[in-house]
Amino acid sequence: MTHESVSERLDRLLGLLASHRSWNGPALARELGVSLRTLRRDMARLAARGVPIEAERGRGGGVRVPVRMGLGRLQLNHREALDLLLALAIGERIRSPLLLSSLKGLRQKIGMAFPPEERTRLSRLRRRILHGPLASHRISESWGSPRPAVLGLVQDGFFEQRAIEVVYRTARERTTRVVEPHYLMLAWPVWYLLVWDHLRDAVRFLRLDRIESARLTDKTFQLREADAMLLVARDLFTSL
């Protein structure tokens, strides 16, 4: 059985509360697969995040989210938060006149919809998504869809700052290497990982569509400064 983190369990709890007009404690605990004590702790965590939870009075009273109220704060897991930031990055990079006028306000509203601790996390993630120049016609033509299973593991490594072991192919070779995924860069329409490559012992750009497989390792890393990595990798990037 896959281990479920507290954050993932809170996401499930929030979804269950939103799906029914009311829940009694034992039924909700059974649905989540936790004890009543754990359920009470999780309900307190949601309340601290600004979720409007009401307790019903009377015998057999349960808990509910008020019908006429939204869930107050956005509750996203790390993959959803990253997907949201990547979508905003694409909107900014393609400079569509239909999007640019509202993106700044949208970013502000999204930020305010998160609890303070989540807002800080989102801001840190956003600083790790970089904009590069538009990809050349040759590169754009060769770009393919990254493998969904690979993307999930890359997102985990990126978010948790954990090294990943990847099988990577280029026009000349296919290698297995351990890399630290420090930054994501969009050179529209191509996505790159800016990594510290343990095999080369150097900064490298990896195209996401060229990663054939990935495995999350237990090795964590400290984030390197983007400017320093980009300075080292500048010549590499212009040759991609």
* Assigned domain for 190 exists: yes
Contact criterion met (CB below 8 Å) for 149 and 201: no
Tokens of 240: 């991609």
Same domain (yes/no): 120, 145: no
CA distance 112 to 99: 20
Confidence at residue 240, expressed as pLDDT on a 0 to 100 scale: 40
User: Domain check: are 23 and 112 in the same one?
Assistant: no
Torsion of CA 121, 71, 23, 27, to 10 degrees: -20
Same domain (yes/no): 143, 231: yes
Q: Are residues 115 and 203 in the same domain?
A: no
Instruction: Return per-residue pLDDT of the chain as tens, 240 residues.
Output: 456 678 778 878 877 887 777 888 888 889 889 998 999 898 888 888 777 777 776 555 578 776 544 445 555 666 677 777 777 777 776 666 666 556 666 666 666 666 677 778 778 888 898 888 889 999 999 999 999 999 999 999 998 999 999 999 998 999 999 999 999 998 889 999 999 999 999 999 999 999 999 999 999 999 999 888 988 777 655 444
Q: Is residue 1 one of the residues assigned to a domain?
A: no
Residue 175 lies in a domain: yes
The type of residue at 134 is: L
Rounded to whole angstroms, the Cα distance separating 91 from 68 reads: 32
- Within-domain flag for 149: yes
In a domain, 69, yes or no: no
DSSP per position, 187-198: ETTEEEEEEEET
Does residue 122 sit in the same domain as residue 196? no
Based on the structure, what is the number of domains in the chain? 3
Q: Which of 64, 86, 112 is the last residue of a domain?
A: 64
Co-location of 202 and 230 in the same domain: yes
Amino acid at the residue 132: G
**Residue 201's domain is classified under what CATH number?**
2.30.30
Query: Is 40 inside a domain boundary?
Result: yes
Q: Is the residue at 71 inside a domain?
A: no
Cα torsion for 23, 25, 30, 31, to the nearest 10°?
30
pLDDT at 233: 72
Range of the domain at 85: 78-127
Query: What are the counts of helices (DSSP H) followed by strands (DSSP E) for the chain?
Result: 9, 8
pLDDT value of position 142:
95
Confidence (pTM): 0.65
Confidence at residue 53, expressed as pLDDT on a 0 to 100 scale: 79
> Are the beta carbons of 224 and 196 closer than 8 angstroms?
yes
Final residue before a domain boundary, out of 64, 97, 114: 64
